[in-house]
Amino acid sequence: MFTILSFCPQNHHKYSCSLPSSGYINDQLIKLCWQAISISGLIIHSERLKYVSKEGKNNQPAAPGASTPTPTSTSCPAQISRLKKRLTFSKLTRLKELSIDVNPDDQWWDEEANAILDGMFWLTNLKTLNLYLPTVELLKRFLQLKIYPALSHLKLTVGHHDQRIISRLPEKLEEKFKNFDKCLKYKNGKGETIEITEALKHSSAFFLDRHWTVTNLSEFQIHEMKQLKFCLLLECNEMQTIINGADEKDNDEYGSKGDKPVLTSLEHLHILYMKNFKSILEGRIVSSSLSRLKTLAIHTCPKLTTIFTLHLVRNFVNLEELIVEDCPKIERLIGFKSDLFEPNVVLLSLKKVSLLDLPELISMFSGLEIAPVLEIMTIYNCPKLKKLYTSEVSSKNLKAIKGEKEWWGELKWHNLWGSRVQPDHLVSIFVPLRWDRDLMAQLTEDPAAESSVLENEDAFDGTESSVLENEDAFDGTESSHFWKMKIFLVEYSLQTWTMSMEAVNLELLLI
C-alpha cells in the first residue's frame, strides 16, 4: 500500500500536504497507516507516504478535512528519543525505499542512529536507501545487516561533517557522483579503513573527502573495488599517489608473486586540491588496470610534475577526456627516457584535452603520436609551452584548437623529421579565447557554435568600415542641415517666448 518512508526532522517544515490521485484520504487509510507505523506526523504526497516529526505529546493523525498541525522548524532531542521507541520497522516488512535525511550537525543523531539500524533488520524488501552515519563504528553495524548486499540503490555518507565556509567542489561534479546507483561518501576519516574497504566492494561511486592520514588509494584494497566506476578525491592532503604498485601484488596458486589488476571498472577519476599528490602510479601495474578509464581530471595539485609514464600511458586505451588545471610544477604530461622511445600511438580514444594554468609546462607528449581521434584541444595560460609537435595534433577529427591569440601567433612547430612548418589545416580550426568573454563558457562551448559567433563578429567587422564611410558622407552634409535647423529655430523663437526656450534646449541637444 505504501513504499516510501522519508524522515527529515530538520527540513520537515518544507513538506506540503496533498491528496493522492484518487482525490481523497479516507479514515480507513489513515488508520491503517497509523497502525503500520506510530510516528508523530503523517503526510501523503503523490501516493507516497512521508513522515515528519512534530512537537508535542500524543499527536494523532488529522481527520479528513481537518487542518494539519504546523510542523516546527527544529526538533528537540527528547522528542526524537520518543521517536526511537515508537518507530516500528517490524510493521514495514514490505518497505522498498527509505530515506533518512538528517542535519549532520545534530548530535542527537549520533545516539539515535543505533536504534534505527536495529530496526532495519526487518526491512527485508528494501531496495533503495539514503542514509547518513556519523561514525565508522555505525558503518560496521550497517554492513552486518543482510539488506546491504541486496540494495540496488544506495546513497551512504559516513563521517562527521566539517564547517566549510566555501565549498571548493563544483556542484555539477557532486551531481555526477550522486547519479550512480551505489554511492559511498567518506568525510574526515583517519586511520584504519577496514569498514570502508568492505563497503567499497559493493560501491559504484566513491567520494573521499578530506581523509587526514591515507597516503594512497591502495590502502583501501582497490583490487577489490570490482564495481567502482566513479572516484572523486578532494583535499586528502597526505595522499601522494593513487596506486602503490608494491601493494598490489599477491601470491598465485603456485605461491609466486604476481600483479593484481586494480580499478578495472573505473571510468571517471577526479582529483582536486591535493597538497602532496605527486603521481597516479608508483611502480608498475598490469595492462588491465585502469583500462576502462574515460575521464581523468586533475585540479590544483602543487607537487605534481607529470601525469603519465611511458608504461602507464599504455593502459589508458579508453581515455576520452583529459583535464589538467592549476598544477604549477608540471613540465610534461608524459615523461620518458629517449632510449625507451617507441613510435607506437598512445591514447587511442582521446577526444578532448584541456590544459589550463600550467605555468611550467614546456611539452605535452614529447613528440609521441597520440590521439588519432582527437576532436578538441584547449590550452590556456601555459606561457612556456612554445612548441607543439605535428604528431600531437595529427587527428583527422580535430575540430578546434582553443587558446590565446598571442600564444598561437608565437607557437613553433616541430616534427620528428626536423620540419618546422605549421600544417595549413590548423589555421582554420584555431579558436581564440577572448578576454572579454567568460572563460568557462568558451571552454565548454561547442566548436561549431563558436565558429558561427566568430563569423558574425567578422561580418560585423566587415560592415564597420561601410558604416564609417556612411558616417563620413553624412559629415559632408551635416553642417548645411544643422544651420538650416538652427535658423528655423531662431525664427520660431521670435514668435513665442516659451517655444523659444524649448527650441534653445533642442538646439543644445543637437550641438
Per DSSP, the three-state class of 207 is strand
**Residue 233, strand partner residues:** 208, 271
Asked if residue 8 belongs to a domain, the reply is yes
**Domain count across the chain:** 2
Asked if residue 117 belongs to a domain, the reply is yes
Q: Are 214 and 193 in contact (CB under 8 A)?
A: yes
pLDDT of residue 176: 96
Asked if residue 390 belongs to a domain, the reply is no
Asked if residue 357 belongs to a domain, the reply is no
Asked if residue 350 belongs to a domain, the reply is no
Q: In which residue are the cell numbers 604498485 written?
A: 245
> What are the average pLDDT values for consecutive 10-residue runs of the chain, which has 511 residues?
44 36 38 38 29 36 43 40 53 82 76 84 88 93 88 94 75 94 95 89 96 94 94 96 78 51 97 96 91 98 93 94 97 71 80 97 88 96 93 92 94 73 84 86 74 51 45 42 39 43 40 39
Asked if residue 11 belongs to a domain, the reply is yes
pLDDT of residue 165: 61
Residues 6 or more apart whose CB falls under 8 angstroms from that of 108 comprise 75, 77, 80, 81
Asked if residue 224 belongs to a domain, the reply is no
DSSP string, 422-461: PPTHHHHHEEEPPTTS-HHHHHHS-HHHHHHHHHHHHHHH
Asked if residue 113 belongs to a domain, the reply is yes
Residues 6 or more apart whose CB falls under 8 angstroms from that of 160 comprise 104, 134, 135, 187, 188
From CA 119, how far away is CA 157, in angstroms rounded? 19
Which of 161, 194, 212 lies at the terminal end of a domain, its last residue? 161
pLDDT of residue 96: 85
- Long-range contact pairs involving 109-116 (C-beta distance under 8 Å, separation at least 24): 109/134, 110/134, 110/135, 112/80, 112/81, 112/83, 112/84, 113/138, 114/138, 114/141, 115/84, 115/87, 116/84, 116/87
Its pTM stands at 0.75
- Domain of residue 479 covers 455-510
